[in-house]
Structure 1
Amino acid sequence: MVALTLAGASAAALVNPADEEGLAAVPNTADVVRTTLVDTERLDGALNYERAAPATAVGGEGTLTWLPKEGDVIVRGEPVYRADQRPRVLLYGTTPFYRELSVGSRGRDVAILESNLAALGYTGFTADNHYTWATAQAVSRWQKDLGVTRTGRVAPEQVLVTESAVRVGEVTADLGSSASGEVLSLTGVSRTVTVDVEVRRRHLIAEDGRVEVELPDGRVLEAEVADVGSTVSVAEGDSLEDATVRIKITVEDEEELNDYEVAPVAVRLEVGRAEDVLAVPVEALVALSEGGYGVQTVGPEGQTSYAAVETGLFADGLVEVSGSGISEGTSVGVPE
């Protein structure tokens, strides 16, 4: 017997079909099945909250008089922290405030302020990019509800702009300290899985592609590729061949993550699929003396013969086969 290795599985002996036909059936047999084969690859990943941005105090004046707790979720209109009892309020948008806004101001930051005021239920103004007297009146009502001095103006230190709700990942400043520098480390509110994939294997992953995520407790969750990074990274000491890109994956039902917040996970990635094909156990393959591969077919009376086959995808211990005399339900020999 000559042992062969096929895609990580052991194949049977090198045989001459002319010498072997008519032998008694091998001890074990398996039926040719019609199935869908899916070849997957297992990659190491990390579950974590997506980082949003640090909350950095602006102006450097005042004393921190209130801080949220780690894990708190902050939504639009709520305080991120308080300095001298004055809240810095979260607003949604993509442009940070860099100047004081007042009557006559125009720009993207004005549009963000007015859209947030409208979303918080304040009315009487047009939500555009022009700060009018009507806008100032709405701001004054908002300031009254916040319990701060009603000025009708908005300064950068009074608001923090992020794209959406945030979660407090870490409180980096102490209560009672000066309101300067980084106060909080913020994350997104959704947990995501990241995987660093070698650039040369980037073609295996498609945005919106389906994957599976295996948790430390063994449960496997359905997930989707949310983003394929375009920034290439090379670790110190590695060559360009080891360059990677970061893949972001979102779990279909985040509640199934339970209490996992930060954890190592495994990502199962589909790298090959063959639908509605005939397949046999990999161990049923034999190398034919004239070249190529075959299987030993076993008839109803135990008679045996060898049939040449073309092989296709290998997956889950099975191999796709096709050839004359091979059909669904055919019995093939499988060595012990």
Structure 2
Amino acid sequence: MVASAVTGGIVHLGGIGGSNGSRASEKGGELPPATATVVRTDLVRSKTVDGRLDFAQRRPVKSAVDGTVTVAAAEGRTLTMGQALYELNDKPVTLLYGPVPMFREMKTGDRGSDVLQLERNLRDLGYGAGLYVDTRYDRDTEAAVKQWQKSLNREPTGKVGRGDVVFQPGQVKVVSVDAALADQVGPGEPVLTIASTQPVVRAHLDQTDGALTAAGTKVEVTLPSGKTADGRVAGTVRPEGSGSGGGAAAQEGIVVEVVLDGGARAASGEDAKASVSVKFVSEARKGVLAVPVEAVLALRGENGGYGLQIVQGTGTRTVRVDTGMTADGQIEVSGPDVREGLEVGMAAS
């Protein structure tokens, strides 16, 4: 009888040289203490962690000028083009759409892409019926700005100051209020934290889970209501509360942002303050032959490799196999002598 030892769930068999084919040995040896069946199944390697619902692309809105907050924004509100993000010194700071940030005062005679996006907003808001949208801030632009300023109860100067508007790519969600009513704020100080209206899930992974953070990694999210939703990793984000130098918060792990396949509908009606469960799938193999890890034999000798002890009636034979992915205690096996339904030996549990 061949001596064996169990290491890491795999039985090591000594003294079996085998042949060049798949069959390592054939004998009527003693029956194993336990058996299992070769099954055809899906193997999925995954990790499940806690997460929470949030919105994508969080970023602060900072004041461009000194002033007093006279209207505080409402947390959770969705704002669109032409609406006030907040009011400073009793004057609205208006949300307009465009990729170019507000970096200067705009006035007659100016040219640039910022002027172009301002004119697009004026046109879309209904000001300046005859306005020709281009990169020039001309008299027609000034007239349209004055119309718009009167509607906001601002002095109709025809100029747009740095503290008058905030440009963002589209509609935004107010996720937190950083400056309350009557707070004094100066240039560069945050007033609001906003995000896109696209719901996401933020989940914390360990530093050793770097492979799961790749963009496109598939996940399954169990929402607070118990419903499940498919999603994919969009990327990593800085942990909340971590500074530019990292610190304790950054050392605790990696924060991953997950986009739900169903978009806003997938998270509709869910409790945004409750936690969710996020299952990361790092690898999946569909319809493969598999056995418990304990059924695989590590063959020693000239050829080495791995094998299975096939149980046939009152005897056994050992065949070579190729091994693949492992998940949940099962391992993928393949070879010409392996088929679904075979009974294989296992070490005693």
Q: Give the C-alpha shift of residue 90 in structure 1.
A: 0.5
Distance 1:24 1:327 in 2: 20
CA RMSD of aligned residues (A): 3.8
Q: Give the C-alpha shift of residue 165 in structure 1.
A: 2.4
SS at structure 2 position matched to 1:97: coil
SS at structure 2 position matched to 1:325: coil
Please show how residues 189-268 of structure 1 align to structure 2 within 5 Å. 189-192=197-200, 193=202, 206-213=214-221, 221-227=229-235, 247-253=256-262, 254-257=264-267, 258-261=270-273, 263=275, 266-268=278-280
Q: TM-score, normalised by structure 2?
A: 0.74
Change (3 A) 1:29 1:196: closer
Change (3 A) 1:226 1:182: closer
Q: TM-score, normalised by structure 1?
A: 0.76
**Contact 1:43/1:269, CA 8 A, preserved across alignment:** no
The runs of 5 or more residues in structure 1 that have no matched partner are none
Does residue 91 of structure 2 align to residue 86 of structure 1?
yes
1:266-304 CA distance string (max 9 Å, x none) = 45141x4444432222222234454433222233x4543
The runs of 5 or more residues in structure 2 that have no matched partner are 17-24, 239-243
Change (3 A) 1:21 1:124: farther
Select which of 86, 104, 117 maps to 2:109: 104
1:161-191 CA distance string (max 9 Å, x none) = 2223223233233323446443323333334
SS at structure 2 position matched to 1:189: coil
Change (3 A) 1:129 1:11: same
Distance 1:218 1:20 in 2: 53
SS at structure 2 position matched to 1:94: coil
Which amino acid in structure 2 is aligned with residue 250 of structure 1?
A: V
Q: Give the C-alpha shift of residue 45 in structure 1.
A: 6.2
Change (3 A) 1:194 1:171: same
Q: Which residue of 1 aligns with 2:170?
A: 164
Which amino acid in structure 2 is aligned with residue 160 of structure 1?
A: V
Distance 2:246 2:94 in 1: 39
**Contact 1:46/1:195, CA 8 A, preserved across alignment:** no
Please show how residues 1-336 of structure 1 align to structure 2 within 5 Å. 2-5=5-8, 10-12=9-11, 14=13, 21-24=28-31, 28-30=35-37, 32-41=38-47, 48-50=54-56, 52-61=58-67, 63-122=68-127, 123-178=129-184, 180=186, 181-192=189-200, 193=202, 206-213=214-221, 221-227=229-235, 247-253=256-262, 254-257=264-267, 258-261=270-273, 263=275, 266-270=278-282, 272-288=283-299, 290=301, 291-299=304-312, 301=313, 303-334=315-346, 335-336=348-349
SS at structure 1 position matched to 2:120: helix
Identical aligned residues as a percent: 32
